Amino acid sequence: MVRQHVNPLSRFFQLPLELPAPAALFSNAERPIHLDIGCARGRFLLALAQQQSEINHLGVEIRRPLVKAAEADRQALGLGNLHYLFCNANVSLEAWLLSLPPAQLDLVSIQFPDPWFKKKHHKRRVLQPALLRSIAAALQPGKRFFIQSDVLAVIEPMVAVSEASGCFSRPTGDARPWREGSPLPVPTERETYVLDQGLPVYRVLYERNEAPLPSLEALEQALEAADNSPISPPESS
């Protein structure tokens, strides 16, 4: 399975977009919201929205052709609890997240993000400190944040900056360092591909706790330290 990259730091993707409010996206805007950041072609959310009709699902993706194709599928099925939006999450999500009514955001997921292996490209990775801080600000205590990847060099900095924030705790009883299965009933396409190859998937589920937001500077320092740390050897789930 080949990943198709775009450079999120290019000028085109740095233009902020005003994202529609839930009332413009869903047939029932009062439902809890699951936000999937980097939803790719959207087939995972298409299946999940049909299983979880009581939840509104929003997929955001930086590759516009994938969003157009996913929206066509959604419209063909007439799903009022699902929508896809084109945007750069690190540029356009903060204002949208902060505009949500308290407690409406139920879950944020980032699954198998583009790895950007070269150190000089790490700033292109999706979970940057400002985005994590926005997620933490929008999630009320007890609400969930789920991350997974098949690349240790990607997931370990995500874990490090999430835990350095102090805003997230792992549910009691979850295995460490990686939980054994996904909390979601539908796998992504990448997840299915990786598991079919007999390769590991590294997963962590967090719950928002009551800790106050950290400074952006502290998160940037934590991520820089994580990027400079050696990668741990693979561990089985």
Residues with active-site annotation: 114
Sort 50 into a burial class: Cβ within 10 Å, 0-12 / 13-18 / 19+: middle
Sign of CA dihedral 111, 117, 119, 120: negative
- Tokens representing 171? 């549910």
Is residue 211 within 8 A of residue 169, CB to CB? The reply is: no
Q: What is the largest CA-CA distance in the chain?
A: 48
| Residue 216 burial (CB count, 10 A) | 13
The bridge status of strand 144-149 relative to strand 105-111 is: parallel
Q: What are the tokens at 71?
A: 């929206």
| Cβ pair 108, 35 in contact under 8 A | yes
50 and 77 in contact (C-beta within 8 Å)?
A: yes
Residue with tokens 């967090």: 206
Residues 190 and 111: beta-carbon distance below 8 Å = yes
> What distance in Å separates the CA atoms of residue 171 and residue 175, rounded to the nearest whole number?
9
